Amino acid sequence: MKIVVFSGAGLSKESGIPTFRDSTNGLWENFRVEEVATPEGWWANKNKVLKFYEARWHNIKACEPNAAHLAIAKLQEKHEVHNITQNIDDLLERAGCTKVWHIHGSITRRKCEDFRCIYEADHDKPVEHGDLCPICKSQCRPDVVWFGEIVNDNPQYLSELIKTADVFIGVGSSIQVYPAASFALQYFIKTKHKFFVDPDPNPRLVRLGYEVFEGKAVEMIPKAISKLEEYVA
Ligand code: NAD
C-alpha cells in the first residue's frame, strides 16, 4: 500500500522538541517571531537569527526519535511510505524513514541568503556568521522556511501522491496554518483510509471522514497502525 504520513510539531514533542504554541516553550520565550523567523528579521540582525537557530540546532541534535517516529519507519518494511512534514528536525530520517519531504525546510541543511542554493551541511555544527555558500559565496542561513516565505513545493510529486495514495495518516498538527493545512483538509480527503492522531484534534477532521485517535503520538500512532492492519488484513 502507498501511505502518506503528514506530520506537525506534535510528532516530535515527546522527543523533547517543544511545539511552537507550547506555553512552557523555553526556546521561543526570549525571542520575538518577527525578529528571528522572517526575512525582515534576517536582514535587520543576522547574528540574532543565527543565535536563535544555534539553540534550536543543539536542542534537536540532543533529542532522539520517539516511538512514533520509529513506528512510522517500521511501516516501510511492508508498505511504500511517504512522509510530508512541517517539522524542521531530522528525527524521521534518524528513525530510518527514507522518503521525507520537509515543506518548511530542514535545520540540518543550509541555503544561502541571496540565491537560495541548497545543500546538505557537511559538518556537524550550526550555521555561523561568515559561513559562505560553496556555490555562490553568499552568507549561509539554515534551510528553514520563515513566515512570509514560500513553502518548499513539489507539485508533480504531490499530484502523483494524491492520485495514488491508499492511506493518509496525519499526526501532531493543529492544521490551522496554510498552505500546510491543505494537505489534511483538501488534497488527501478522497484517500480511502484516513487517520489523524492528536491530543487536541481539529473538529473538522471527523466531518471530513477521518478516524481520529485522540492522544499523544507515541501512544496513538501504534494504535492507528494496528487499526489500519485490521482493515487491510
Ligand atoms: P502545529 O500547528 O502543527 O501544532 C502542534 C499540534 O501538536 C497541536 O495540534 C497539538 O495538539 C499537537 N500535540 C501536542 N502534543 C502532542 C503529542 N504529544 N503528540 C501528538 N500531537 C501533539 O505546530 P506548531 O507547534 O504550531 O508549529 C508551527 C510550525 O513551527 C511547524 O509547522 C514547524 O514548521 C515549526 N516547528 C517545528 C518543530 C520541529 O521541527 N519539531 C517544532 C516546533 C515548531
CATH number of the domain at 164, please.
3.40.50.1220
Ligand 1: distance of its center to the CA of 45 in Å? 26
The answer to whether residue 38 sits within a structural domain is no
The answer to whether residue 167 sits within a structural domain is yes
Rounded to two decimals, the pTM is 0.94
Q: Which has the closest alpha carbon to 60: 12, 114, 5? A: 12
Ligand 1: distance of its center to the CA of 170 in Å? 12
Q: Which atom of ligand 1 is nearest to the CA of 14?
A: 18
pLDDT of 47 strictly over 70: yes
Q: How confident is the model at residue 184 (pLDDT cuts 50, 70, 90)?
A: very high
Task: Scan for cell 491508499, then name that residue.
Answer: 166
**pLDDT at res. 123:** 61
Number of domains in the chain: 1
pLDDT of 25 strictly over 70: no
- The three three-digit cell numbers of residue 203, written as one number: 473538529
The answer to whether residue 52 sits within a structural domain is no
CA dihedral 223, 11, 84, 41 (to 10 degrees): 170
Read off the pLDDT of each residue in 155-166 and give the average, rounded to a whole number. Answer: 96
Read off the pLDDT of each residue in 59-88 and give the average, rounded to a whole number. Answer: 97
Ligand 1: distance of its center to the CA of 90 in Å? 14
Ligand 1: distance of its center to the CA of 11 in Å? 7
Ligand 1 touching residue 200 (CB < 6 A) = yes
Ligand 1 touching residue 22 (CB < 6 A) = no
The answer to whether residue 50 sits within a structural domain is no
To the query of whether residue 104 is one of the catalytic residues in this protein, the response is yes
- The three three-digit cell numbers of residue 17, written as one number: 522538541
The answer to whether residue 58 sits within a structural domain is no
pLDDT of 120 strictly over 80: no
Q: How confident is the model at residue 17 (pLDDT cuts 50, 70, 90)?
A: very high
pLDDT of 23 strictly over 70: no
**pLDDT at res. 54:** 93
The answer to whether residue 21 sits within a structural domain is no
Read off the pLDDT of each residue in 65-71 and give the average, rounded to a whole number. Answer: 98
Task: List, for residues 196-216, the tens digit of each pLDDT value.
Answer: 999 999 999 999 999 999 999
Determine the structural domain holding residue 82 and report its residue range. Answer: 1-16+63-104+150-233
Read off the pLDDT of each residue in 63-91 and give the average, rounded to a whole number. Answer: 97
Mean pLDDT, the chain, whole residue set = 92
The answer to whether residue 197 sits within a structural domain is yes
From the list 69, 82, 102, 104, the catalytic residue is 104
Sheet strands side by side (includes 211-213): 100-102, 80-85, 2-7, 167-171, 193-197, 211-213
**pLDDT at res. 31:** 77
Ligand 1 touching residue 23 (CB < 6 A) = no
Q: Which of 9-13, 19-23, 153-157, 170-174 has the lowest mean pLDDT?
A: 19-23
The answer to whether residue 156 sits within a structural domain is yes
